[in-house]
């Protein structure tokens, strides 16, 4: 169950092709003069204020991570995508990329609008949209999509709760993206577009590239998992690609995670073997479906392998521990993606072996032979200023986390 899944690629290439096209087609308007003219145009256009979910989608479309999509899906396409994981053109896609809003009064009589950013103080225009359609979406249709995307309609699920509260209108159309919201200014060294990461991979001459998705600081087990994946796949390097957008209450803020991960990369990995980067998206907690989206995002940035671990993109008990790995065995999924999946079991420190191992690979072990600290227990320790054992977390990382919890 925990063996690596190997998907054969059709041809050998230096850097993996983007998903769905031979070249990356980000929706960001890169030409400075053209972008300036569009910014001026946006100031005169009718406008709509996006919610944070739609704004995150705009950033991902602009940065090339959602290649080859060109904008927001309409209702019919969104329903098809949720149910069959296909766009209107038959492209495999795991989660609808939609713009749902509550009020259309300012835009219903026009075809070209400015989309305003809810995450910046000045609410500046983040994109211009050519409206293809404005459609009423029913509660039943939202429930149907939520059931397929999240495998539940339980409003206690943070992703479902957000999705069901966005509004009653789906506004679709192609985008011209003008900026990346607050991500470039708040995370100037970390936020990177898919094109920028591809360029870096090219400069380093990497061919096999492992991506590690995270919304948490790096514990010792995460470090070892990255090393295991690099060694077993004979990869040239690993990219720790952290989510910089909104999380659920209780998760560690992005700037704290960034500092912790950079410390680990600089002190405990060889130079130019671990790159630290980030992307502007909100966590969906959609389990298996989100794991597929993570794979598409990493293929678009040039990674040849993605680590998918235990309870990847999960929350609570809504998904089985290895559901996000099992979905990559699906024929539809396997036939669509070029990126390979490195499947990992839970990693922990073995008291018998004196090292971090995958628990499923440790023979003659029972639970008492591992050092296991739950997330709840870890947060309690940090909040009380208690440093976790060195077998679990680097002391320097622990100090950063304790400082955060005390503040």
Catalytic residue list: 215-216
Count of CB atoms within 10 A of residue 140's CB?
Answer: 8
Helix (H) or strand (E) holding 294: helix 288-300
Q: Tokens 């993570």 appear where?
A: 294
Q: How far apart are CA 110 and CA 133, in angstroms?
A: 11
Are the beta carbons of 135 and 143 closer than 8 angstroms? no
**CB half-sphere exposure, 159, CA atoms < 13 A:** 23
Q: How far apart are CA 383 and CA 404, in angstroms?
A: 9
Pairing of strands 71-72, 169-177: antiparallel
How buried is 138 (Cβ within 10 angstroms: 0-12 exposed, 13-18 middle, 19+ buried)?
Answer: exposed
Q: Where are the beta strands (DSSP E) in 154-236?
A: 169-177, 209-214
Count of CB atoms within 10 A of residue 105's CB?
Answer: 7
């Amino acid at each position: 169950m925990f063996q690596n899944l190997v998907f054969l690629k059709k041809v050998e290439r230096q850097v993996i092709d983007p998903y769905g096209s031979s070249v990356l087609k980000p929706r960001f308007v890169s030409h400075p003069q053209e972008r300036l003219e569009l910014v001026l145009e946006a100031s005169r256009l009718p406008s709509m204020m996006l919610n944070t979910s739609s704004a995150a989608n705009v950033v991902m479309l602009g940065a090339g991570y959602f290649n080859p999509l060109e904008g927001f899906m309409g209702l019919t396409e969104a329903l098809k995508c949720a149910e069959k994981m296909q766009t209107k053109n038959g492209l495999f896609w795991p989660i609808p990329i939609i713009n749902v809003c509550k009020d259309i009064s300012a835009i219903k009589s026009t075809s070209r609008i400015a989309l305003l950013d809810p995450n910046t103080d000045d609410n500046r225009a983040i994109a211009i949209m050519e409206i293809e359609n404005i459609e009423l979406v029913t509660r039943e249709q939202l429930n149907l999509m939520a059931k397929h995307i999240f495998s539940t309609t339980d409003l206690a699920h943070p992703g479902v709760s957000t999705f069901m509260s966005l509004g009653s209108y789906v506004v679709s159309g192609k985008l011209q993206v003008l900026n990346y919201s607050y991500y470039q200014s708040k995370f100037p060294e970390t936020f990177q577009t898919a094109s920028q990461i591809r360029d870096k991979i090219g400069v380093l001459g990497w061919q096999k590239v492992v991506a590690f998705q995270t919304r948490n600081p790096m514990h010792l087990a995460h470090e070892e998992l990255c090393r295991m994946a690099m060694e077993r796949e004979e990869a040239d390097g690993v990219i720790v690609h952290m989510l910089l957008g909104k999380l659920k209450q209780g998760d560690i803020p992005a700037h704290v995670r960034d500092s912790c991960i950079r410390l680990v990369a600089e002190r405990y990995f060889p130079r130019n073997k671990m790159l630290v980067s980030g992307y502007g998206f909100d966590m969906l907690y959609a389990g298996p479906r989100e794991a597929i989206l993570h794979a598409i995002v990493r293929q678009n940035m040039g990674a040849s392998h993605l680590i998918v671990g235990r309870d990847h993109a999960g929350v609570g008990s809504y998904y089985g521990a290895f559901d996000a790995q099992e979905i990559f065995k699906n024929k539809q999924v396997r036939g669509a993606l070029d990126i390979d999946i490195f499947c990992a079991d839970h990693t922990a420190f073995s008291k018998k072996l004196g090292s971090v191992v995958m628990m499923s690979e440790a023979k003659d072990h029972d639970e008492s032979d591992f050092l296991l600290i739950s997330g709840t227990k870890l947060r309690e320790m940090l909040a009380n200023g208690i440093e976790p054992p060195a077998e679990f977390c680097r002391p320097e990382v622990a100090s950063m986390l304790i400082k955060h919890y005390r503040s």
